[in-house]
Amino acid sequence: MRRITSYPKTAPPLIAGERPPDVTMTVPTTTSSIWISMTTFWIALSSSRWQLL
């Protein structure tokens, strides 16, 4: 239980039923922001690699 409460972002969606509703509501926004940051990071990395080449 401690791992789910301390790391709600990394918890798999299968445990969504065991988590409180407020945590499940905030999880999609955090995951989407993480995906946006990851995509922007990879785009910047690829663009810098192309510039270096």
Cβ atoms of 16 and 27 within 8 Å: the answer is yes
pTM above 0.85, yes or no: no
- Is residue 51 over pLDDT 60? yes
How many whole angstroms separate alpha carbon 53 and alpha carbon 23? 44
Q: Which has the higher per-residue pLDDT, 46 or 24?
A: 46
Residue range 9-35: mean pLDDT, rounded: 60
Q: How does pLDDT run across 11-21, given as a tens digit for each residue? A: 555 555 555 55
SS3 assignment, position 35? helix
- CB burial class (10 A; 0-12, 13-18, 19+) of residue 4? middle
- Is residue 46 over pLDDT 60? yes
